[in-house]
Amino acid sequence: MLEATDQPVSDHPAFPGDAAVLAPRGVPRILVVDDEPPIAELVVGYVEREGWQARTVGDGISAVSAVRDFWPDVVVLDLMLPGLDGIEVCKQIRGFSDAYVLMLTARSEEVDRIVGLTVGADDYLAKPFSPRELVARIKALLRRPRSTASAAGAREASPPGLAVDEARRSVRVDGREVELTATEFDVLVALARLPGIVLSRARLFEVVWGGDNFADDHLVDVHIANIRRKLGDDAADPRFIDTVRGVGYRLRESQ
């Protein structure tokens, strides 16, 4: 949680929103969306200490505009915002941006809403949180490439009716294109690379989120549920993804 010793390490203003110069594209850009200046200042301080560029805004409408102007790599998005709440902001930016979204929430019970079936958040932290953990989560997201084409760039082996094209980052079910978020696609690819092999929740978390220091089985489960719904897969009578009780998940092999 936020400690008394966790003080801002930057004089960055709370809500500049209009940084004059964008960092070079190789420098990660982090957009912090929070209507509490002390929290925003604290997060920005830690972000800038990593050598990343940060911008902050304090309401949902400004957040959507800032994503269009700033093109961040990661959006740290508070759930409770004036104007538009974090869920609506996430829905809107998913229409034009592939930025990773790390949602901040005051109540852990809201996790299902945050990473729910239509929102598209990639990760979450409950308040109060440790800024060091937040930085670790951002680093894990930044380690995940936007395009993870396989060496051959070929279609992965998949069960009948499911085509996972890693090179093009596309998924089709019975010829129909299915839209997945970046994280959902990465989870499916992790399974598709090893069809018939059971991957534990911890292993999926490690592969997709970049480490196991903050492994969260529930986050994996919700993303699997999200993928199943979009694929039209029934957990009780699966066509594509099997649940191995007490262990994890596997993609069915090609017949």
Q: How far apart are CA 52 and CA 49, in angstroms?
A: 7
Q: Is 175 exposed, middle or buried (0-12, 13-18, 19+ CB in 10 A)?
A: exposed
Query: What pLDDT does residue 4 have?
Result: 34
**Which one-letter amino acid corresponds to residue 30?**
I
Q: How far apart are CA 252 and CA 20, in angstroms?
A: 51
- Which residues lie closer than 8 Å to 18 by C-beta, 6 or more apart? none
Question: How many Cα atoms occupy the beta-carbon half-sphere of 184 within 13 Å?
Answer: 25
Cα 96 to its chain centre, rounded Å, is 15
pLDDT along the chain (255 residues), means of 10: 41 38 70 95 95 95 92 92 90 84 78 58 86 92 60 54 85 92 90 86 84 70 93 93 92 78
Scan for tokens 């200046």, then name that residue: 37
Query: What pLDDT does residue 173 have?
Result: 93
For the chain, list the domains and their CATH numbers.
29-142 (3.40.50.2300), 155-251 (1.10.10.10)
Q: How far apart are CA 210 and CA 204, in angstroms?
A: 9
Distances (CA, A) of 171 to 100, 143, 180, 192: 19, 22, 8, 11
DSSP class of 199 = E
Two structure tokens written together for 79: 């759930």
Beta bridge partners of 173: 162, 176
Q: 94: closest CA among 82, 103, 105, 104? A: 103
Q: How far apart are CA 166 and CA 150, in angstroms?
A: 7
Scan for tokens 């970049």, then name that residue: 210
DSSP class of 14 = S
